[in-house]
Amino acid sequence: MSSKWCKNPKTGPSFRLSKYLIDEKSIPISRNYFKHLQFNESKLRKKKKKKKRKGYRIPNSKETMSSKEVQEAFTANTCLTLSNGQKIPQIQLGVWESYDEECYNAVKWALEAGYRGIDSAEWYENEAVCGRAINEYLTATSTPRSSIFFTTKLRNNVSYSETRSAIKRSLKECNLGYIDLYLIHAPYGGPIIREEIYRAVVDAVKEGEVKGWGVSNYGIRHLQEIFDKFPDYPPLVNQIELNPFNTQSNIVEFCRRHSIVLQAYTPLAKSGRFENEVLKEVAGRYEGKGSAEVMIKWGLQEGFVSLPKSVTKGRIVGNLRGSEGWGLEEEDMVKLRGLDEHLVTEWDPTDCP
């Protein structure tokens, strides 16, 4: 090996070794030759990995969206995966405006039919009744507590301390040992109050009082506040009014992009659109299915958790059984999305300040 060849910085062995290491994606440390190297960017460029927030897992698209084929295998035990790893039943009984023995019977019938989730709230004033029905079912059937998913919600957005007290009250009322999912019912109060109450919910999670956390009726601006203030505890769930006549596509798109599972309350639009011609036309293509079954199935197939509400045993059972073993063709999903008229059946705080 000639000394001249070795001394040439652009052809010598040190250059060749450094160039080889760089092309192999190693990093040589050389003061003498770095200024002569021309990097092959296509080889050095590394795929940028999405940063994961501490304490939760980002679910993949197959876990948040469903196809006709997936829905054909749907049962009462079908669950979605929240981004903290929790499994949440995709169909649950809603108990809004259900009271006393009427509520007790509804929960009892739902559990006996196979429902594995009950959606309550402090505002509904039926946490104790729901808890009694659940506990009696668990005892009678030797079912473990972990098999039933119980949700409740904060009634008043007042302060950190009041929120912590409200969570403890809900724990005492339901008497289930812990709350599977605790939601802030609405974004009222302004940014400072929203931050305080969300911090209280996060602390309840840290204390083990609450396993899952989220919000209800939150718009994009409210959700973004949480991401900015609590990057390690983004909301797992946003529960909003969702059905073919109120698709809330902007909020849905934002939630999907940020791995927030959507829960659909009023999935039947309070029966107010059952006679819609397009809805009836779609239902007519599926043997034995009516408007209610199609509306619930639309939400399930969009990847939402559906919360149909009823206090009638036949409808409670029918809403579940009518969702099992079939799916909508994509062309019908598109037709149903086209029915959107932003129909608000009760309230819509998603744009409150």
Q: pLDDT exceeding 70 applies to what percent of the chain?
A: 81
∠ CA 169-211-184, rounded to 5°: 60
Catalytic residue among 124, 198, 218, 265: 124
* 211 is a domain residue: yes
Q: Residue 254's domain spans which residues?
A: 61-346
Mark whether 185 is an active-site residue: yes
> Can you spell out the DSSP letters for 180-202?
EEEEE---TT-HHHHHHHHHHHH
Residue 199, token pair as written in the block: 């911090």
Q: Are residues 39 and 175 in the same domain?
A: no
The amino acid at residue 154 is L
CA distance 242 to 126: 23
The model's pTM is 0.82
User: Nearest CA to 298 among 283, 288, 309?
Assistant: 283
Tens-digit pLDDT profile for residues 243-253: 999 999 999 99
Q: pLDDT exceeding 90 applies to what percent of the chain?
A: 79
Give the range among 31-45, 136-150, 259-273 with minimum mean pLDDT. Answer: 31-45
Domain of 218: which CATH number?
3.20.20.100
Residue 82 has pLDDT above 70, yes or no: yes
* 156 is a domain residue: yes
Give how many domains the chain has, as a whole number. Answer: 2
Q: Are residues 39 and 65 in the same domain?
A: no
Q: Are residues 96 and 23 in the same domain?
A: no
For the four alpha carbons of 106, 109, 110 and 116, in that order, the dihedral sign comes to: positive
Confidence band, pLDDT 50/70/90 cuts, at residue 66 = low
* 353 is a domain residue: no
Catalytic residue among 104, 115, 182, 185: 185
Residue 302, token pair as written in the block: 């969009």
